[in-house]
A = this chain, B = another copy of it.
C-alpha cells in the first residue's frame, strides 16, 4: 500500500491520454511514444518476432551492408539501350516501379509510353501509339528487371541512350536514361512535339558528344562526386545542382579534348548547364549499383529497392531476391505549382526512391537544407528526417558524410524489421506528376513509403526461415 503514500513516478507507454490525466490531477508522468509493431497486424507482428535477435539475420545483414558499402559505382560510358541492356533489342519498353500492364498504368506513364512509341517511330500519332501500346505487341517490363532505373515514368525504349555505371571489382553494371530537364518532359508524362524533338536531339547530338567525352576518361567515380555534393547542399535526389555542375566541369574538359565539333560541344554544354537535375539519373544508377551488390543474401532483411509505378509502391528485400512487396502508391501532399493541387496529382511515381534506399535523397536531407524551398518544410524538419531514418537503418555510410550532422555518415541500409517494429516509414523526396497524360510536373514534396510493403516483406522473410 506504500504506492499510495509515495509520489508517483509514471512512465506512460503508448496512448498519451493516460499520462494527460495524471498530469491534470497534479502528478508527474513521462510519455513514451510507442505503437504496436506492424500497425497492430498480428500476423506481421508474429513474423517480426521470429526475425528479431536472429544471429543468422544479423550476419546476413552485415554481409549485405558491407557489400553495399564496398561497391564503387563508376560512370564508364553511354550507349543505346538496345545495345547495352539485355532484352532491349526488340519492341520492349521499360517503366518505373513494380510490374504493371498497359491498361493499369497511370496517366503520366501512359503518356510517356505514347511519347516513346512516337519517338521510336513505331506509330505516327498519339491515337496509333495508344492502340499499339494496348495491342500487346509491345513488351513492358520494370527497369529494375533489366538492371536499370528511371525517374518518374522511367520510360526507356530501345533507341534511347543510357548511362552505363559499372563496379570495377565485380563488373556489375546498371543503367539509367538521360535527364531531360524540367517542365514538359517525357518522364512526367508530356509527349508533345517539343518533347519528341528533344529526345531525338538527346539520342543523336548529346549522345554523340557524351560518348566522345566519356571515351576520353577512364571512367568517373560517382561516390566521391556524391560525397562532395553532400558538402554543397545536394541530397542527389531532388537537389542535384552541385553534382550536375561538378559533372559538367569534368565533362566539358573531355568534350573539348574529344573529336566533337565546337557546335556540338556548345549545344551539349548549354543543355547540361541549363538542367540542375542532369546528375539525378546517374545518381540513381549509382545507387542501384550499390544496392544490387547487397541483393540475394539469404536471410538479409535489408531493402534493395523501393520503386513506384504511379499505382503501386513496391519494395524488394535482399533475403527475398527479386520478389516485389507492393501496396497502393500514396498521393503526395507537397508544394504544388500555381494552379495545381493534390486533386490533380498522380500517385507517387518513379524509380528515384532508389536514392533513399541507398541513404541519399530524403535520408540525406540534413545535407540539403535549401531543398525545403522545393519540397516543403523547414531546415529543422530536414535534419529531423535524417535523424529519424537512423532508427530504421543498418548503419551509417562513412563515405557519404553530412556536414550539418557534425559529419556523421548518412543513415543507410533500410531494415524491414526496424520499419515494421517502429512504424517509422522511409521518407522520400519526390517530384509530382499530373495524373493525366501529356501535362507534366505540377509540384514536388515529401512522402513516405507505405508500411504494408514492409509488413508483407517481414512475413515473407520469416516464412523462409528454417523451423526451430
Contact = CB atoms under 8 A, between A and B. Distances in A.
Interface of A: 228, 231-233, 241-242, 245-246, 248-250, 252-253, 256-257, 262, 265-266, 269-270, 273, 369-370, 378-380, 403-404, 406-407
A370 B227 CA distance: 11
A266 B270 contact: no
A406 B377 CA distance: 11
Contact of A403 (B256, B269, B273, B379): B379
A248 B269 CA distance: 11
The A contact surface, by secondary structure, is helix
Give the interface centre of A241, A245, A252, A257 by most chain B CB atoms within 10 Å.
Answer: A252
A11 B379 CA distance: 35
Contact of A269 (B245, B253, B369): B253
16 contacts: A231-B370, A232-B232, A232-B241, A232-B242, A249-B273, A252-B273, A253-B269, A256-B265, A256-B269, A369-B403, A370-B403, A379-B403, A379-B404, A379-B406, A379-B407, A380-B406
A208 to B, nearest CB: 17
Contact of A266 (B232, B245, B256): B256
Contacts of A403: 233, 369-370, 379
Nearest to A378: B406
Contacts of A378: 406
A257 B265 CA distance: 11
A374 to B, nearest CB: 11
Contact of A253 (B228, B231, B246, B270): B270
A272 to B, nearest CB: 9
Give the interface centre of A231, A241, A380 by most chain B CB atoms within 10 Å.
Answer: A231
Nearest to A265: B256
Contacts of A407: 379
Contacts of A370: 231-232, 403
Given A232-B232, A245-B246, A262 B256 contact: yes
Contacts of A253: 266, 269-270, 273
A407 B380 CA distance: 11
Contacts of A241: 228, 232
A249 B269 CA distance: 8
Contacts of A266: 253, 256-257
Contacts of A270: 253
A228 B273 CA distance: 15
Contacts of A404: 369, 379, 404
Contacts of A245: 242, 245-246, 249
A407 B228 CA distance: 22
A428 to B, nearest CB: 21
A269 B252 contact: yes
A403 B365 CA distance: 12
A127 B365 CA distance: 57
A156 to B, nearest CB: 28
A241 B233 CA distance: 12
A370 B233 CA distance: 10
A257 B267 CA distance: 10
Contact of A233 (B231, B248, B252): B231
A370 B366 CA distance: 13
A64 to B, nearest CB: 30
A246 to B, nearest CB: 7
Nearest to A272: B249
Contacts of A379: 403-404, 406-407
A369 B231 CA distance: 8
Give the interface centre of A232, A250, A253 by most chain B CB atoms within 10 Å.
Answer: A232
Contacts of A380: 406
Contacts of A369: 403-404
Contacts of A262: 256, 262
A369 B406 CA distance: 8
